[in-house]
């Protein structure tokens, strides 16, 4: 069964304290992996798509990387406005993980 597992479920950081979120997948023949950010009461907001192992993408304080079995979302010097749930999804067949709830405390 195709699965996407995210860890940790929740993460609490002090402002400026860098960390990484993990997304492991068991889909066969991965063609793409998405990262989304979801704020409470809102729909997911697209961050990155990664297509092949070794690929990296960056946006402001976020950097996403992909290996053959997992993806990492690195958050450098986070700010309180980075607090959200971060979702990853693998294709095919488009399966989302449960997300990591990130809280950044000032």
Partner 1 sequence: EAGVAQSPRYKIIEKRQSVAFWCNPISGHATLYWYQQILGQGPKLLIQFQNNGVVDDSQLPKDRFSAERLKGVDSTLKIQPAKLEDSAVYLCASSLVRGRTLLETQYFGPGTRLLVL
Do residues 4 and 87 touch, judged by C-beta distance below 8 A? no
Identity of the residue, 15 or 58, whose beta carbon is nearer to partner 1 in the bound complex: 58
Taking the complex as a whole, the smallest distance from the CB of residue 26 to partner 1 amounts, in Å, to 15
Residues 4-23 interacting with partner 1 (rule: CB under 8 A): 4
Binding mask 67-96 for partner 1 (x = CB under 8 A): --------------------x-x-xxxxxx
Closest CA to 7 of 22, 26, 25, 27: 22
Do residues 21 and 72 touch, judged by C-beta distance below 8 A? yes
Residue of 52, 80, 98, 105 interacting with partner 1 (CB under 8 A): 98
Cα–Cα distance, 57 to 64 (Å, whole number)? 5
């Amino acid at each position: 069964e195709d699965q996407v597992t995210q860890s940790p479920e929740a993460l609490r950081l002090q402002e400026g304290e860098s960390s990484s979120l993990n997304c492991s997948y068991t889909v066969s023949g991965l063609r793409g992996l998405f990262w989304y950010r979801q704020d409470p009461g809102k729909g997911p907001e697209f961050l990155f798509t990664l297509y092949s192992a070794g690929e990296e993408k960056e946006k402001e304080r976020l950097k996403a990387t992909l290996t053959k079995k997992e993806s990492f979302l690195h958050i450098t010097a986070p700010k309180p406005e980075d607090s959200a749930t971060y979702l990853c999804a693998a294709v095919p067949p488009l399966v989302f993980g449960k997300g990591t709830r990130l809280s950044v405390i000032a």
